[in-house]
């Protein structure tokens, strides 16, 4: 088991929670609040640990700093081995009561693995504060007594993360001196992030020629039809049943002759087995940790432009800030576009100019912002 290493950035709070009545056990790590309230989602998995939550909280510290929003880094986890919907609600409510002294004074929860807009509404209700969580349902609203403004939830289903991935991609394309309307793209993963990245990149003029899921994928060099893919998804059918093109194994998508590759599924999909077969000019990390840092650096040294995960997928947390401030969906998307474009463009240009790995460039910017605030 990895230890939580304390340094000048944190963690400020490491909280272990246990409810003996129902057996709920969880963790909250508030890593750093130099820039603002700690922000990060709550995940519910059978194997989540205090150390895992800390590592994720630290990533949120850097991500929020880079995104240019006044949030610090935090994360929470609940050990969830499965059960009825009622038991899950009890776990959420119990956890919310336990962290109430910190919410929203020090920490604001959001959705993550196995938590959705429903759980966020329960948390806000339990702590008695509409601002006690973000990612709430769109019809869960609150009237600001001071301003009279109506504020509503901005759920993950709006697609802010995938929207942000698309704009981070566009910024990388521009920094590399390419024309997005002449670019082809392959997307690994057709969940919320992959679906909306597909939608918005296609609207920008890119041609999406391949998509893959856990059961395989499809490659069609003339470009895929999003509506047909969404119909298959709604029917619970695999992508491989797409009517045109070539059926491919999940692993094949990383070897296709495309300009842009977007890993938007799970960890370590780019690895020692396939790293040398990648033909893409640009890799945009829609998922968290789609490859180890040494592989990322190796690919960058080969001339591949890489947008790191904590830059590319920051659209979700920017949306959280927009919700916290009472923005409507239109205002939220405008904020995500502006901040992601600005952030990704600055990082990619500095990286390419100095021939420095974008992750290293991004980390330097994030750390400098927090250090200035600490001083």
Query: Do both 106 and 206 map to the same domain?
Result: no
Query: Do both 308 and 228 map to the same domain?
Result: yes
Give me the helices (H) in 42-84, please. Answer: 50-67
**Beta strands at 13-19 and 71-79: parallel, antiparallel or unpaired:** unpaired
Query: Do both 47 and 110 map to the same domain?
Result: yes
Domains contained in the chain, number: 2
Task: Give the count of alpha carbons within 13 A of 207, CB side only.
Answer: 14
Give CA–CA dist 323/135, Å, rounded: 8
Residue 268 lies in a domain: yes
- Residue 181 a catalytic site member: no
pTM of the model: 0.93
Give CA–CA dist 330/161, Å, rounded: 15
Residue where a domain terminates, one of 134, 152, 174: 134
Residue 181 lies in a domain: yes
Give CA–CA dist 277/139, Å, rounded: 47
CATH code for position 215: 3.40.50.720
Query: Do both 237 and 356 map to the same domain?
Result: yes
Give CA–CA dist 243/183, Å, rounded: 23
Catalytic residue among 50, 63, 75, 88: 75
Q: For the residues of 144-173, what is the DSSP string, one character each?
A: -TTT--EEE---GGG-HHHHHHHHHHHHHH
Query: Do both 241 and 360 map to the same domain?
Result: yes
Residue 329 lies in a domain: no
**Beta strands at 37-39 and 24-32: parallel, antiparallel or unpaired:** unpaired
Residue 41 lies in a domain: yes
Token duo for residue 181: 């309307």
Residue 335 lies in a domain: no
Residue 2 lies in a domain: no
Give CA–CA dist 296/276, Å, rounded: 12
pLDDT in tens, the chain (375 residues): 468 989 999 999 999 999 999 999 999 999 999 999 999 999 999 999 999 999 999 999 999 999 999 999 999 999 999 999 999 999 999 999 999 999 999 999 999 989 999 999 999 999 999 999 999 999 999 998 788 889 999 998 999 999 999 999 999 999 999 999 999 999 999 999 999 999 999 999 999 999 999 889 999 999 999 999 999 999 999 999 999 999 999 999 999 999 999 999 988 999 999 999 999 999 999 998 899 999 999 999 999 999 999 999 999 999 999 999 999 999 999 999 999 999 999 999 999 999 999 999 999 999 999 999 988
Is residue 32 classed as helix, strand or coil in its secondary structure? strand
Q: In the chain, what is the straight-line distance between the N-terminal and C-terminal CA atoms, in Å?
A: 33
Give CA–CA dist 322/316, Å, rounded: 10
Query: Do both 127 and 184 map to the same domain?
Result: no
Query: Do both 36 and 125 map to the same domain?
Result: yes
Query: Do both 100 and 234 map to the same domain?
Result: no
Residue 106 lies in a domain: yes
Residue 284 lies in a domain: yes
Write down the pLDDT at residue 2: 61
Query: Do both 119 and 50 map to the same domain?
Result: yes
Query: Do both 255 and 114 map to the same domain?
Result: no
Q: Which domain holds residue 91?
A: 13-134
Write down the pLDDT at residue 74: 98
CATH code for position 53: 3.40.50.10860
Query: Do both 351 and 281 map to the same domain?
Result: yes
Query: Do both 293 and 242 map to the same domain?
Result: yes
């Amino acid at each position: 088991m990895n230890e939580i290493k304390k340094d000048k950035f944190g963690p400020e709070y490491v909280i272990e929670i246990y409810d003996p009545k129902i057996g709920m056990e969880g963790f909250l790590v508030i890593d750093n609040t130099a820039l603002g309230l700690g922000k990060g989602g709550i995940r519910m998995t059978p194997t989540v640990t205090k150390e895992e939550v800390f590592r994720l909280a630290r990533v949120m510290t850097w991500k929020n700093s880079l995104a240019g929003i006044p949030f610090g880094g935090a994360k929470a986890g609940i050990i969830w081995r499965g059960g009825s919907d009622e038991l899950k609600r009890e776990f959420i409510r119990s956890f919310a009561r336990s962290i109430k002294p910190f919410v929203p004074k020090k920490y604001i929860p959001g959705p993550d693995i196995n938590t959705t807009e429903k759980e966020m509404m329960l948390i806000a209700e339990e702590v008695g504060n509409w601002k006690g969580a973000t990612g709430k349902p769109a019809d869960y609203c609150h009237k600001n007594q001071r301003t009279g403004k109506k504020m509503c939830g901005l759920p993950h289903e709006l697609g802010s993360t995938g929207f942000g991935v698309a704009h981070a991609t566009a910024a990388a394309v521009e920094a590399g001196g390419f024309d997005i309307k002449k670019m082809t793209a392959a997307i690994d993963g057709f969940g919320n992030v992959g679906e909306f990245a597909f939608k918005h990149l296609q609207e920008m003029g890119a041609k999406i020629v391949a998509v893959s899921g856990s059961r395989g994928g499809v490659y069609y060099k003339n470009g895929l039809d999003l509506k047909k893919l969404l119909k298959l998804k709604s029917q619970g059918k695999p992508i491989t049943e797409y009517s045109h093109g070539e059926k491919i194994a999940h692993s094949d998508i990383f070897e296709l002759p495309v300009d842009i590759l977007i890993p938007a599924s799970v960890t370590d999909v780019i690895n020692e087995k396939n790293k040398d077969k990648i033909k893409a000019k640009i890799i945009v990390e829609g998922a968290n940790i789609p490859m180890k840092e040494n592989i990322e650096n190796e690919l960058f040294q080969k001339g591949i432009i890489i947008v790191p995960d904590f830059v590319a997928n920051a659209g979700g947390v920017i949306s959280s800030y927009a919700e916290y401030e009472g923005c409507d969906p239109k205002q939220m998307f405008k904020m995500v576009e502006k901040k992601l474009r600005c952030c990704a463009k600055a990082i990619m240009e500095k990286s390419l100019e100095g021939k420095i790995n974008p992750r290293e460039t991004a980390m330097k910017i994030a750390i400098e912002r927090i250090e200035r605030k600490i001083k």
